[in-house]
Amino acid sequence: MLPPIDTSSILKLRQQILARNEALKGGVAAEATPETPRFGAALTDALRAVSAVQDQASAATNAWETGQTHDLASVMIARQKATIAFEATLQARNRLVGAYKDVMNMPL
C-alpha cells in the first residue's frame, strides 16, 4: 500500500506557488523559502515507497509459502502492486534518461 498523501503540504506548496506568481507579476522576485522541495528528496521518497511496497509483497509471499496465511488473493494483490510500482519507476527512469539525452544532444 502506498503511503497516504499529506494534503497540508500540497496546499502549502500551492500557496507558495501562487505567492511567487503574484510577486513575479509585480516585477519583484520572490524570495526562496527554506522549505522549498527538492527534486532529489522527492525522488528518494518515491524510491523508498516503491521499496516498501516490494518489501510488503515479499513478506506476504513468505507468509504464504510458510503457511502463516491462507489468503492467496491478498498475496497476489500485493505482488501486483509491487509489479506496477516497479514498472512505473522504470518508465519514469526511462523518461528521465531520454530527457537527459535530449538535453545533452542540444546544440549550443
Q: What total of structural domains would you count in the chain?
A: 2
Contact in structure between 1 and 81 (CB atoms under 8 Å): yes
Same domain, 9 and 27: yes
59: containing domain: 38-108
Q: Give residue 84's pLDDT.
A: 95
Contact in structure between 63 and 11 (CB atoms under 8 Å): no
Same domain, 76 and 54: yes
- What gap in Å lies between CA 40 and CA 79, rounded to an integer? 27
For the segment 40-63, what is each residue's pLDDT rounded down to a tens digit?
Answer: 888 889 999 999 999 999 999 999
Same domain, 42 and 22: no
Contact in structure between 82 and 53 (CB atoms under 8 Å): yes
For the segment 68-102, what is each residue's pLDDT rounded down to a tens digit?
Answer: 989 999 999 999 999 999 999 999 999 999 999 99
Same domain, 27 and 43: no
Identify the burial level of 104 via C-beta atoms within 10 angstroms of its C-beta, where 0-12 means exposed, 13-18 middle and 19 or more buried: exposed
Provide the whole-model pTM: 0.61
